[in-house]
Amino acid sequence: MFADRAKIYVRSGKGGDGHVSFRREKYVPNGGPDGGDGGNGGSVYFVVDEGLNTLTDFRHIRKYCAKDGAEGGKRNCAGKNGEDIIIKVPEGTVIKEAESGKVITDMSGENRKFLLLKGGRGGNGNQHYATSTMQAPKYAQPGQPAQELELILELKVIADVGLVGFPNVGKSTFLSKVTNARPKIANYHFTTLNPNLGVVDLEDAKGFVIADIPGLIEGASEGVGLGHEFLRHIERTKLIVHIVDAASTEGRDPIEDIYAINKELEAYNPEIAGRPQIIAANKIDMIYTEDDPVAAIKAEFEPKGIPVYGISAISGKGLRELLYAISNRLGELDTKPTVFEQEFFPEFHFGLESEPFTVEYDAQADEYVVEGPRIEKMLSYTNLESEKGFKFFQDFLKENGILKQLEELGIEEGSTVRMYGLSFDYYK
């Protein structure tokens, strides 16, 4: 079974403690402090491995810990740094914080290596604390603690085009004909349990990557059947191609199938359902009725702006026209790859609760002023121009009790709130 979701625990290394010791040399009865510094703890990195295409390894190993830094030693000897741990994932893996479900990073595009958790810094040895009045300090600094998180890893296939359709409509056959992919083809429902990627090369036109997604059934948006395992993989695609059995070889109505698939897409994510679509009416070589089902499909969907192409994946009829239509449509769309924005910042999360902040009313300026290291840190990590970034900002104000404090100060709708040079109008 294709593994495209996993839950794991990760932990960075603790910093080694600083050492307390004093020089003990012959003829030096009162040697000074010589306690060495502790080593830094190892960090946790994620890297893209081109040789991986599933998350299967994470089913067997669920705990990943970097090494702790060693304690400092005598004679100013620093402790050894803890080894980093490098976790390899396939391209397209989205890493989320498990409890909140917020995205930490998307391992795709130019993001090939990501520092997730930084190891704790080693503590200073007692040699650092000698002064003119304290020449024999008997204390050293402890190492910084480790950081730990539970993560959800989700693999979202990177492809320009996602093929959708009910089982046995011919998606795998189509993919094998038009790309270099070699999917298993058999007359069984749910034959395709993992997304098959293939590259389409065209003469005098730009090629594209196409993915045959596992067969969809009604109720998939609620997790029925392959459910979310299917739907997760079309989140990056720019164009959706519906393949339907125009010949109704299994007694299914192709028009009803298209509506059923769009209903599932809408229920899962309306933004995906709103992406451009093309319908490939397959199996036209098996149509033996006097009525033309392809014409009926065109009459239903082309007025809605969805082009329909009659094809036979077996014989190859109509494939060329369809592929060039897909290439042309992709050329009209934004070529920027879909990358999921960061919503959870580990470096911002750890130790944040200890950072102070103040909420005050500036009567002279008639503004409410929110300041402090916690606020400054939050703003430095937040892209307020993006929808998700602004929502993160609003949630932060609520979760940290800032909105409540503003209300206690008597803030009213339309009042101005200032944070480090940024001004916002308050609306409840």
The 10s digit of each residue's pLDDT in 72-120 is: 988 888 999 999 999 999 888 999 999 888 899 999 888 999 999 999 9
Q: How far apart are CA 88 and CA 71, in angstroms?
A: 29
**Residue 83: its pLDDT value, please?**
95
- For 288-314, what is the mean pLDDT? 89
Rounded mean pLDDT, 151-163: 86
CA distance 306 to 259: 12
* The three-state (H, E, C) secondary structure of the chain, written as one string: CCCCEEEEEEECCCCCCCCCCECCECCECCCCECCCCCCCCCCEEEEECCCCCCCCHHHHCCEEECCCCCCCCCCCCCCCCCCCEEEEECCCEEEEECCCCCEEEEECCCCCEEEEECCCCCCCCHHHHCCCCCCCCCCCCCCCCCCEEEEEEEECCCCCEEEECCCCCCHHHHHHHHCCCCCCCCCCCCCCCCCEEEEECCCCCCCEEEEECCCCCCCHHHCCCCHHHHHHHHCCCCEEEEEEECCCCCCCCHHHHHHHHHHHHHHHCHHHHCCCEEEEEECHHHCCCCCCHHHHHHHHHHHHCCCEEECCCCCCCCHHHHHHHHHHHHHHCCCCCCCCCCCCCHHHHCCHHHCCCEEEEECCCCEEEEECHHHHHHHHHCCCCCHHHHHHHHHHHHHCCHHHHHHHCCCCCCCEEEECCEEEECCC
Q: For the chain, state the CA radius of gyration.
A: 30
Neighbouring residues of 120: CB distance < 8 A, sequence distance ≥ 6: 12, 13, 14, 15, 40, 41, 69, 143, 144, 145, 146, 147
- The token pair that represents 378 in the structure block: 């939050």
Span 379-408, mean pLDDT? 76
Per-residue model confidence (pLDDT) at position 149: 93
Using the predicted structure, report yes or no on whether residue 188 has a pLDDT greater than 70. Answer: no
**Cα(172)–Cα(175) distance, integer angstroms:** 5
What does pLDDT average to over the chain? 82
| Higher pLDDT, residue 168 or 298 | 298
pLDDT grade for 3, boundaries at 50, 70 and 90: low
Angle at 283 between CA 281 and CA 284, to 5 degrees: 80
Task: Assess whether pLDDT exceeds 60 at residue 184.
Answer: no
Residues 16-46 have pLDDT tens digits of 999 988 877 766 566 788 889 999 999 999 9
What's the confidence (pLDDT) of residue 171? 79
At residue 63 the predicted structure's pLDDT band, cuts being 50, 70 and 90, is: very high
Check residues 96 and 333 and name the one with the higher pLDDT: 96
pLDDT at residue 309, rounded to an integer: 93
Distance CA 275, CA 239 (A): 6
Q: Which residue has the higher pLDDT, 219 or 318?
A: 318
Lowest mean pLDDT among 77-86, 142-151, 278-287, 339-348: 339-348
